[in-house]
Structure 1
């Protein structure tokens, strides 16, 4: 099972590296394919990414490959969204709910439902984190993928091809 998954992963990496489009087109498709993974879009995420990739003229195959990779990483991404949003909220200095000025200005009803108001802070932290993460990591990802494709594409293709032959030989011999 593990060997089969590893072979598929290598196959799709090789397929991604063999795309004859420019580095810009492949990097754009890759970033747009991963973009929806930062948000809880679940079922409609891939169609949104495909539409954005089509509109911005990115590579659709790269979009699908990176969307698939992102579908396995979304629990970690959601946690990262919350942590970054929480950190930014603390950095900006959002007023604490128990601050005396906030208590004096807050209507008495908020004291009764204060427990449920904390869920709103969780959502706001997540939203802020997902927006910031999607922008920052998309920009970084675009330039990193473009650099890798521009500089190391032929080397990576030959390395993956040689590893694929070794895997195939070991499967036929044993």
Structure 2
């Protein structure tokens, strides 16, 4: 019950922000970007920095960073799958059970500067996923805040 109450509290805080729909949507988008790359827990902090850099809302950026933190294994695998698909190579990681944080970081970092390695697959997938998810998150959030901000707030109360 406490988790549900906490989620409701943060949703209310998010929808009560006085910023424009553009600033909130851009902040949430900037906040989710670091979630695609394993950053040892520094994602939400980097999210706030990206928000300040783009002059968007830092609170919504923090929320975006927090949203992406618990689902990093899924995002990690998506990076490998998309990279493998685009480069026509089979990734080393296929399922969520195979993702171990320390091993994943080691494979990714060791392969950044070698051609045709897992690091290249990961980076290719990450770039594509960041671009596509950013566009999707921005327009969904912008639409929600532009059209339904008051309605959602009333339902949350």
TM-score range, shorter chain: 0.7 to 0.9
| Root mean square deviation of aligned Cα | 1.8
The TM-score, its normalising length taken from structure 2, stands at 0.79
Runs of 4+ in 1 over 3 A off after TM superposition: none
Aligned residue pair count: 133
From 49, 52, 55, the equivalent of 2:53 is 55
Q: Which has the larger radius of gyration?
A: 1
2:117 matched residue in structure 1: 121
> Residue 140 of structure 2 corresponds to which residue in structure 1?
144
Counterparts of 1:39 and 1:55, CA distance in 2? 19
Q: Residue 103 of structure 1 corresponds to which residue in structure 2?
A: none
Distance across 1 between alignment mates of 2:53 and 2:120: 30
**Residue ranges of structure 1 left out of the alignment (5+ in a row):** 95-116, 162-174
Partner of 1:159: 155
Matched, 1:32 2:30: yes
Which of these residues, 38, 48, 65, is aligned with residue 67 of structure 1? 65
The gaps in structure 2 that reach 5 residues or longer are 90-110
- 1:3-50: CA deviation from partner (whole Å, max 9, x where unpaired): 100110011011101111100000011011111001122233233221
Structure-1-length-normalised TM-score: 0.72
Who is 1:84 aligned against?
82
Write the distance in 1 (CA, Å) between the matches of 2:78 and 2:147: 30
2:42 alignment counterpart: 44
Greater helix proportion = 1
What is the CA deviation profile of residues 49-88 of structure 1, one whole-angstrom value per residue up to 9, with x for unaligned ones? Answer: 2111112111111111111111111111001111111111
